Structure 1
């Protein structure tokens, strides 16, 4: 039996959240997080170049605009799952993925809360030869801490991290 005492059912105005993100320039807004589930809205991921790897599934719904979800197969091949506005996508755990969508596009995302010891990884590859060039790791206990931005700050602020050891190409920094 489920006890609903002190339970507050989230009722979210997604249009208002999208306006808030647009007006503030922020990229994510956490809607709720309980012991099992994390939900947030993300705005624009046009700058993403890394592949995120986590132990949780992700359910992504294209609220506004389309998304191209780049992902890597177990063999390392890069593929694209195109998600038009209004579509939903289930992404299995541990799939290296890189969501890419315009600044005026929005995704509603539901994930499983990370268990103690589960570490999110962010992998970058050389834009010239596809050699692995850098990894950032974070324990994602609260999406309001914006781990993606923290990983990117570390990566962009280091010429060493962005330089391919195989071919010498320097991956682009912040524009």
Structure 2
């Protein structure tokens, strides 16, 4: 049974600007990774799996949307964990020196992850990116961000004209 040195992985992620996640394992029924700082997040992720998020270092501010579309924030202090049901639109935000251990179910064939952005001025829906996540090491969040932020059309609100600022 392999052991993982979480302190060593956090030190590695602190020392690189190229990576914000470190996959620990990816099995058929479970995947786990360490995530560093998500202060830049602006999208809401709809994951077809459950998620368990454990605050290793620093607090997590989990922005999420109710079934009616209202944005809420749950604060998960260091040393605490949160369980999240599938398909809850969520946006985990935490400082650049904070770390989360995330455990979820590996995606089943045909499952799609969705990433939604909303207007910062009027909260109107802006854009959706979709990905089939076969390998979390491929960093689907960064790919979704690249697609969204490279398009002025995607970032411009059709209701009020506000342009989502670049990252």
- For residue 91 of structure 2, what is the aligned residue in structure 1? 98
Runs (4 or more) in structure 1 with deviation over 3 Å come to none
Q: Report deviation, 1:10.
A: 2.7
- Separation in 1 of the partners of 2:2 and 2:133? 22
Report the counterpart of residue 79 of structure 2 in structure 1: 86
CA distance in 2, matches of 1:80, 1:16: 30
Q: Deviation per CA, 1:25-55: give whole Å up to 9, x if none.
A: 2100000011111100000000000000011
- Consecutive unaligned residues in structure 1, runs of 5 or more: 1-8
Query: How many residues are treated as equivalent by the alignment?
Result: 166
C-alpha distance in 1, partners of 2:89/2:132? 17
Secondary structure, in 3 states, of the residue corresponding to 1:75?
coil
Partner SS state of residue 67, structure 2: coil
> Residue 77 of structure 1 is aligned with which of 70, 75, 81?
70
1:31 matched to which residue of 2?
24
Q: Which residue of 2 aligns with 1:61?
A: 54
For structure 2, list consecutive stretches of 5 or more residues without a partner in the other structure: none
Would the aligned equivalents of 1:10 and 1:32 in 2 still touch at CA under 8 Å?
no
Q: Does residue 115 of structure 2 align to residue 122 of structure 1?
A: yes
From 7, 28, 37, the equivalent of 1:15 is 7
Corresponding residue of 2:149:
156
Q: Can you list the C-alpha shifts for 1:121-155, whole angstroms capped at 9, x where unaligned?
A: 00000000000000000011111100000000111
TM-score, normalised with respect to structure 1: 0.94
